[in-house]
Chains A and B, each alone.
Chain A
Amino acid sequence: MVNQIEIKDLTKKFGKHLVLDNINLSIPQQKIFGIIGESGSGKTTLLKTIVGFWKSDKGRIDFEGRDLEKNTKFIRQIVGFATQDDAVYPKLTVEENLEYFGSLSNVPRGTLKNNIEKVLNFVELEFAKNELAQNLSGGMQRRLDIACSLIHNPRILILDEPTEDLDPLLRRDIMKLIKKINSDSTTVIITSHLLDETEELCDEIAILHQGKVVKQGSPEQLRTSFSKLEEIHLRLQSRKYTNIINKLKKHKKKVSTIKVESGKLVVHAKSAEPVLLEILRMVDRSKEKLIEVDVRKASLGEVFESVIKKNA
């Protein structure tokens, strides 16, 4: 696997406040690379330092083997960046925004129109191309922001909290879009504090804590290395889990934790199979209608919690 971006010993301070502390990261080409961390852990600062918006105090960043300091213009040409703030002009239409940012990114006039159409089609905003950005819905604005980042066909797309403030449906749309972008051979770097979606989306993940990368690897590698527990996800039509929870609490040796998350019952156990059989028996007896059941290794959330506790 070829690494497209190499970050070595990157340190960034704001005044006396150390935000990034000796970061070392390797970001593989054409993959979706996730950076997760708590709020204030330095995710956005890391991304903005990667593109040279913030000047690093120490360290080196290489894009495809070229030093950022000496090749800023080239690097900005191959990188697209979508912020969590929707960095577009509200008073310009969708098409005008794309035209403007395309022009700034040196897209030749002849191909700019084609690129706009292609990108609009890609983010499914063709119908709104003459709408002012300020009149778009939250999801559409986010898609426009991503479209602006893609207008110059970047080889690397950086997305800072792309699903922030979006409802679940829009979030799903954006995730689909990110997958689509990646499938087009674009390396995607994404930050998020929504661990489920990161886990679902990313090929590789780095966990950032207090300005330091405390762990990097694929979701599977992270789960395996940090947790021996298995996770049962179960959804009933009635979404009433009180009886099941009360009965499971009697099997403390088998069950580690029980909680209800997004309308689902989530149970952690050293061995999922006997616990799941027990739950299914309870469901059968209560004549409840089972909608969904899933058994998996410990989630990224659990891994994350564990890592944070360890490094606290």
Chain B
Amino acid sequence: MLKLLTIIKKNFKILIRSKSSALIILLGPLLLILLVGSAFNTSTFSDITIGTYSGEYNDLTNSILTKLEDDSYKVIRLEDKERCIEGVKTSNVHICSIFPDNLNVNANEDIELYVDQSRVNLVFAIRGAITSIVAEKSTELSKDLTGIITSQLSKTNEEIKANRNSIANIKIANNKLRTDLSNVEGDIISMGVNFSEISIISDEIRKETLDLRNDFNGSRQINTIEDLSVALKAEVKQFEDLTSKKSDVLNKFSNLKSRISDSNLELQNIRDSDDSIIAKIEAIEVTDVDSIVSPIKTVTKPITREESHINFLFPTLIMMVVMFVSLLLSSITVIREKISRAYFRNYISPTSSVTFIFATYLTNILIVIIQLIIVLGVMISINPTLASTLANVSIALLLITTTFILLGMIVGYVFSSEETSTIGSISLGTILLFFSNTIIPLETLPPGIKQITNYNIFVVGESILRKIILFESTLKGISREIIILLSYIVIFILVITIIYRVSSEFYNIRKHMSGK
């Protein structure tokens, strides 16, 4: 124990007396938290410039742009499309939106958004904001249009209903007409128009007249009777025509009745169709315009109470501080000890290597803990509600820091100069940072790589802190991540115990062979 304290005391003295190291390692993270704290303690984007171009701005375009300006975006109207796109390339504008000339909802035209995909997070944020404003306006217009359609539909329904009654009345009138026609037909049929007896009589008269002529040739009376007989014949002919016409009339009556029946059938069909249309219109359950335009509504609600970016940044920020400080500090401590001229004297002293390894770990963790106390203090002063999660955060940080310190120690043992070790630590930290959600969303990575990144210490640590700080998760809720970190710690301890002796032997053999 005494040896352990002596080694830790020595490490601290060496670190503090090396001014540049002390400045970078001890003050660096504090400076970082101060800068990030003041920079991100806001809930909005600031100074986001949106370039726009349209051949002809109209009320619709202007209303979208006004909404964007109301949301604190700076809108610049550019003279042509190329200049607008060029603006994104030269970073004069963050996004370029090209509106169709006289933007019209009927024209089914697209609003083009030009973005710099290399600034993916910013692009997603601004594009999301613009899309939501445009969608809001689009919904507004959809509501108006749908309102017109539904009101027209309603009117049509009323009119069809009114027509349905008229059809019924026409049908009744038709039926009455048909009945009247039947009655008239009956009357006509009942009229006696059989003139055959008259014709026979007329023929008899004519025959008798002819006989009389033969008997009384040249008698003036006979001629008169013949004239009367001819006149009667003509009258009979007229009666015969009447009979024929009565038959025609009856045929026409029959035809008329049949057409009225057909008409009634058609009217019945129309009525049935009207009934079907009315039933269908009345069967429409959703008639509210809002519900038709947006049948499914999504409302984004925050799952935390946080109101500024800094609170969301806490997990990432702490992770960055912990990762870089732990990796750099531990690798530098190890490599300095390894290349130190005093290393030999340490080695041949009656002190076990485990004591040195443990002392190195304790030195580093103490320094990181001191820094974390300051960092957490700053964070709690910004957001006092974080104090409630402090116990769980401390346990999580102890595990995370231990993992990174052990990893940094491995880096220190692997490399053989302070420069290469520092580059190694920074590179390792950058790789871990790059394959995390900090730079690009992990979901954009291929599935295989994404699967691996789930075990990235930075991702695991950030997930733990996010769950604790933002969602107030218990330790049970982060048990999976804790198991992963504990596994890393066990593996790293095994690696260090193996590598400690091998690494120093390699280093000293190389040093010996090079004659230094």
Give Cα A45–Cα B508 distance, bound, in whole angstroms.
11
Interface centre among B3, B349, B515 (most CB of A within 10 A): B349
Q: For A74, give the chain B residue with the smallest CB separation.
A: B350
Residues of chain A lying within 8 A (CB to CB) of residue B351: 104-105
Minimum CB–CB distance for B367 against chain A, Å: 16
Interfacial residues of chain B within 326-377, with CB under 8 A of chain A in the complex: 340-351
Q: Are A89 and B350 in contact (CB under 8 A)?
A: no
B14: A residues at CB distance < 8 A: 89, 91-92
A104 touches B340 (CB 8 A): no
B176 within 8 A of A: no
Contact A52 B348 (CB under 8 A): yes
The answer to whether A91 and B13 have CB atoms under 8 Å apart is yes
Chain A window 202-241, contacts with chain B (Cβ cutoff 8 Å), 1 for yes, 0 for no = 0000000000000000000000000000000000000000
Min CB distance A103 to B, Å, is 4
Tell me the smallest distance from the CB of B355 to a CB of chain A, in Å.
Answer: 9
Give A76's nearest chain B residue, CB to CB.
B350
Docked-complex contact A88 and B342, CB < 8 angstroms: yes
Q: Are A89 and B348 in contact (CB under 8 A)?
A: no
**Chain A residues within 8 Å of B6, by CB:** 99-100, 103-104
Complex Cα–Cα for A86 and B10 (A) = 17
Known: A91-B13, A104-B6. A73 touches B340 (CB 8 A): no
Instruction: For the complex of A and B, list the 4 residue pairs with the smallest distance between their C-beta atoms, beginning with the closest.
Output: A104-B349, A87-B345, A103-B6, A91-B17
Q: Which chain A residue lies CB-closest to B345?
A: A87
Interface residue range, chain A: 35 or more
Cα separation A288 to B344 with both chains bound (whole Å): 53
Q: A127 within 8 Å of B by Cβ?
A: no
Instruction: Give chain B interface residues in 1-47, CB to chain A under 8 Å.
Output: 2-3, 6-7, 10, 13-14, 17-18
Main secondary structure of the interface of A (DSSP, over half): mixed
- Bound complex: CA A76 to CA B351 (Å): 9
Choose among B3, B345, B512 the residue with the greatest number of A CB atoms under 10 Å from its CB.
Answer: B345
CB distance from A88 to the nearest CB of B (A): 6
- CB-CB contacts below 8 Å: A69-84 with B: 73-74, 76-77, 79, 81, 83
Name the residue in A40, A48, A83, A87 with the highest tally of chain B Cβ atoms < 10 Å from its Cβ: A87
Chain A residues lying within 8 Å of B350, measured Cβ to Cβ, are 73-74, 76-77, 104-106
Q: Which residues of A contact B (CB under 8 A)?
A: 14-15, 17, 40, 44-45, 48, 51-53, 73-74, 76-77, 79, 81, 83, 85-89, 91-92, 96, 99-101, 103-106, 109, 132, 148-149
Kindly state whether residue B509 has any CB partner on chain A within 8 Å: yes
Kindly state the separation between the CA atoms of A14 and B344 in the bound complex, as whole angstroms: 18
Q: Report whether A87 and B341 are in contact in the complex, using a CB–CB cutoff of 8 Å.
A: yes
Most buried by B among A44, A83, A109: A83
Which one of B2, B17, B347 lies within 8 Å of A53 (CB-CB)? B347
**Contacts A53-B508, A86-B341 known; 16 new A-B pairs at CB < 8 A:** A14-B513, A40-B515, A48-B344, A52-B348, A74-B350, A76-B348, A76-B350, A81-B344, A83-B341, A83-B345, A87-B341, A89-B342, A101-B349, A104-B3, A104-B346, A109-B2
- Chosen A-B contacts, 8 in total, with CB atoms closer than 8 Å, are A14-B509, A87-B342, A89-B10, A89-B342, A96-B13, A103-B6, A105-B349, A149-B345
A76 to chain B, nearest CB (A): 4
Please measure, in the bound complex, the distance between the C-alpha atom of A74 and the C-alpha atom of B350, giving whole angstroms.
Answer: 7
A76 to B13, CA, bound (A): 26
